[in-house]
């Protein structure tokens, strides 16, 4: 294919993508308003990825708490050891 046609095809594709994004951007507020008025706004079920991310956050918080406790215990034992000498 001629280079000019390849370039034209590329730019037509890009124009289509931009047009689609523009239409979606314009329709998003209308869709949200429609859902609000009709009461059809439903919370989606969390995806597997979101569930895993929540689990990881919980594990991270628990590990952080356990680490702080372990450090405090170790410091206390060191303090007691040094005071007993």
Which single residue is written with the structure tokens 């949200």?
32
Residue 46 has a pLDDT of 83
Residue 6 has a pLDDT of 86
Residue 1 has a pLDDT of 65
Residue 2 has a pLDDT of 81
Express each pLDDT in 32-61 by its tens digit.
Answer: 888 888 877 667 788 898 999 999 999 999
CB 46 within 8 A of CB 54: yes
Predicted model pTM: 0.41
Q: Give backbone dihedrals phi and psi of 58, rounded to 5 degrees, phi first.
A: -65, -45
Reading the block at residue 11, the tokens are 């730019």
Return d(Cα 54, Cα 48) in angstroms, integer. Answer: 10
CB 63 within 8 A of CB 56: no
CB 35 within 8 A of CB 41: yes
Residue 53 has a pLDDT of 93
């Amino acid at each position: 294919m001629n280079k000019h046609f390849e370039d034209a095809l590329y730019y037509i594709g890009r124009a289509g993508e931009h047009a689609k994004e523009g239409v979606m951007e314009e329709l998003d507020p209308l869709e949200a308003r429609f859902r609000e008025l009709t009461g059809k706004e439903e919370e989606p079920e969390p995806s597997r990825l979101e569930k895993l991310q929540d689990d990881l956050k919980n594990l991270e918080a628990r590990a952080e708490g356990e680490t702080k406790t372990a450090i405090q215990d170790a410091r206390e034992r060191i303090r007691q050891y040094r005071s007993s000498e």
